Amino acid sequence: MEAGKVYTAREDWYARVTIVVAFTALLLGGIFGVLQVISRTPYWPNLYGVLQGLGVGASADELYYRGLTAHGVLLAVVLTTFYIVGLSAYLTPRVLGVNIKPVLLNASLAMMVVGTVLAAIAIVMGWANVLYTFYLPIVGHPLFYIGAALLILGSWVFAAGVFIAYLEWRRANPGLGIPVPFFGILTSFIVWIMATTPLVFIVLKNHIPASVLGWSTDALETRLFFWWFGHALVYFWLVPAITLWYYYVPKALGVPLFSETMAKVAFALFILASTPVGLHHQFTDPGVNPYFKYLQTVLTLVVASPSMLTAFNIIATMERGGRARGGEGLLGWLFKQPWRDPVYLGLILAFITFGNGGITGIINASYQLNNVVHNTTWVVGHFHTTVGTAVVLTFMAYTFILLRDLYGRELILKRLAPAVPLLWFTGMMVFSVAYYIAGIEGSPRRTSDVTYGGMIPAEWVLPLQVGAIGAMVFAVGGLIFLIQFFGSLAAGARIPVVQPVTLMLNPHPPGKATVLDRVALIVAAAIILNIIAYSGALIELYGRGLQPVPPVLP
């Protein structure tokens, strides 16, 4: 093989399949999203009621929770996990020049697909209306948990492939710094393994016994372990998006990233502080000493800092690139950005939306303010701007490149491409701000009857209606994207994908290794931080003795 080139056929096949699964999940999950937002808007038709009237064999309320579970699982779990493994399979050999073991790719794909199908059967049949957070004592069918466990274990097998490829690269390149795009992939999978370990533990200890054998379980214990996983999960989603910003923004501008060191500091901080912060989801839970919640609040501010470093790094790179392209004065560089490139436009609009979602995250993380917004539509606004836009819009926009480089297809309806990020961004801004306002007025999330039996406060009506209009706008953006994606696969002109492919060492090759490249050291520090952050709450929980309650069917 020529120097600087690598064969990627096996990884590309894996990536093509997983990314198709991801966007199939976007299509189905998006349909449930539209059903939901229309049904939850005051004085708009309750479409679940219409379905009930058509005789689908379930009440409107039951269908709402079934639809909400499908929406959350398809978008927050299936879309993200499948896209991230696919993107990582595509990037790893191209950045490191090392292949992922084919046996691991095959095993991972089989497990993830079978797991998804099993969980999907349970959800579609209405056997697991437990929402994507699946708190006990509400219990679903064993197929749901077995499917979820298989999906996660399949992603672990893929992660093993990434780690082995990294070790091979390290042996061949001692003393070389890890290339930034791969550092992102590595960070993401380290966070994923650290996050999913407590989840797998609690699913095996509590969920499966409750579901299969009807055993009683302690609700607080389940929530503690779920959120240990649940917050780190969000950085498993976010870090690959940030990786694409670090890779593509400088490339499109033709300049180096403002600071590779700062990028690596950000990744190291994500590894360190993503996991020991779950208690900020449990501020309102009784039974956890406020001192432990306070400790994790401090750590939450630590894990917010790499996002702020990213904000600085990306804006500084944009300024550097804009000035290199002739931008002058205080803001002239902003007008010299490659805004006509839909991929660049999508990535930057996703990045700006992350400013919106990140600020509301900091508000969520404040003990007192959390009392105002917890379990309201505010939180819905927060996660649609973070995972729903910073992450998903980045993935959609970068897929315009993958269509050509991975699938070997010309994009159809090219002129419509900028409409995808523009509609998604505009709709999401309207949706999120309106939902923040409704949330501050106390409008709850996750309730099938938004009118409270006709007693809806007047303050909720207008923001929820405006939010729904925003949702329609970004749904149209999503629809255009899906037509372009599946349409290009079916009817786009073929472009030959030539093998071997050139390594992506752009815009400049990595330098010498520093302390930031000592990943094992960072992981060890993260484990110690987890022990410090969680030991108090666990000693308190088990010291007091568990208070098991029998499982409840939804």
Return the active site residues. Answer: 231, 235, 382-384, 445-446
Q: Which of 141, 264, 281, 320 binds ligand HAS (CB under 6 A)?
A: 281
Q: How far is the CB of 211 from ligand HAS (least distance, A)?
A: 21
CA–CA gap between residue 188 and residue 198 (Å, rounded) = 17
Q: Which residue is nearest to ligand HAS (CB)?
A: 358
Q: How far is 63 from 12, CA to CA, in rounded Å?
A: 38
Binding residue for ligand HAS, selected from 112, 303, 392, 473, defined by CB under 6 A: 303
- Please identify which residue in 351, 398, 425, 485 interacts with ligand HAS, judged by CB under 6 A: 351
Q: Which is nearer to ligand HAS, 92 or 360 (CB)?
A: 360
Q: Does 523 bind ligand HAS (CB under 6 A)?
A: no
Q: Which of 39, 217, 275, 307 binds ligand HAS (CB under 6 A)?
A: 307
Q: Which of 75, 234, 406, 529 binds ligand HAS (CB under 6 A)?
A: 234
Give the tokens for residue 24.
């199939």
Q: How far is 452 from 140, CA to CA, in rounded Å?
A: 26
b (16+ CB within 10 A) / e for 383-405:
bbbbbbbbbbbbbbbbbbebbbe
How many CA atoms within 13 Å lie on the side-chain side of 377? Answer: 25
| Residue at token pair 């379990």 | 375
Query: With contact defined as beta carbons under 8 Å apart, do 516 and 264 qualify?
Result: yes
CA distances from 477 to 104, 481, 484, 544 (A): 36, 6, 11, 51
Instruction: Single out the segment in contact with ligand HAS by CB under 6 A; choices: 40-48, 155-163, 347-355, 525-533.
Output: 347-355
Stretch that binds ligand HAS, among 167-175, 213-221, 230-238, 486-494 (CB under 6 A): 230-238
- Residue pair 276/534 in contact (Cβ under 8 Å)? The answer is yes
Q: 186 in helix, strand or coil? A: helix
- Residue range at the interface with ligand HAS (CB under 6 A); choices 377-385, 428-436, 455-463, 479-487: 377-385
DSSP secondary structure code for residue 204 in this structure: I
CB-wise, 448 or 488, nearer to ligand HAS?
448
Total Cβ atoms within 10 A of residue 42: 16
Q: Would you list the DSSP string of 475-502?
A: HHHHHHHHHHHHHHHHHSPB----SSEE
- Nearer to ligand HAS (CB atom), residue 406 or residue 428: 428
- State yes or no: residue 223 binds ligand HAS (CB under 6 A): no
Contact string (CB under 6 A) for ligand HAS, positions 118-157, x = contact: ---------------x------------------------
4 interacts with ligand HAS by CB under 6 A: no
Instruction: Tell me: does residue 280 bind ligand HAS (CB under 6 A).
Output: yes
Min separation Cβ 79 and ligand HAS, Å: 12
What is the footprint of ligand HAS within residues 383-442 (CB under 6 A)?
383, 386-387, 391
Amino acid in the structure at residue 78: V
Would you give the binding string for ligand HAS spanning residues 456-495, x where CB under 6 A is met?
----------------------------------------
Residue 54 exposed, middle or buried by CB count within 10 Å (0-12, 13-18, 19+): exposed
Q: What is the DSSP string of 48-71?
A: HHHHHHTT-SS-HHHHHHHHHHHH
Q: Are 139 and 204 in contact (CB under 8 A)?
A: no
- How far apart are the C-alpha atoms of 381 and 363, rounded to whole Å? 12
Cα separation, 442 vs 440, in Å, equals 5
- Name the strand (E) or helix (H) holding 6: strand 5-6
Q: Which is nearer to ligand HAS, 266 or 430 (CB)?
A: 266
Q: How far is CA 434 from CA 297, 365, 429, 449, 464, in A?
A: 27, 20, 8, 19, 7
Query: Residue 287: left (phi > 0), alpha (psi -120 to 50), or beta?
Result: left
Q: How far is the CB of 230 from ligand HAS (least distance, A)?
A: 7
Q: How far apart are CA 302 and CA 268, in angstroms?
A: 11
Options 310, 377, 488, 530; binder of ligand HAS; rule CB under 6 A: 310
Scanning 302-310, 416-424, 483-491, 523-531 for contacts with ligand HAS by CB under 6 A, the matching segment is 302-310
For ligand HAS, the binding residue among 15, 60, 271, 365 (CB under 6 A) is 365
| 293 binding ligand HAS? (CB under 6 A) | no
The answer to whether residues 350 and 241 touch, using CB atoms and an 8 Å cutoff, is yes
Closer CB to ligand HAS, residue 8 or residue 222? Answer: 222
- Nearer to ligand HAS by Cβ, of 92 and 337: the residue is 337
* Residue number with CB closer to ligand HAS (40 or 382): 382
Nearer to ligand HAS, 20 or 309 (CB): 309
Question: Which among 59-67, 111-119, 357-365, 464-472 is the span making contact with ligand HAS, rule CB under 6 A?
Answer: 357-365
Q: Residue 407 has which token pair?
A: 């699938």
Pick 96 or 152: Cβ nearer ligand HAS: 152
Q: Which residues bind ligand HAS (CB under 6 A)?
A: 133, 234, 237-238, 280-281, 300, 303-304, 307-308, 310-311, 315, 318, 351-352, 354-355, 358, 361-362, 364-365, 370, 374, 379, 382-383, 386-387, 391
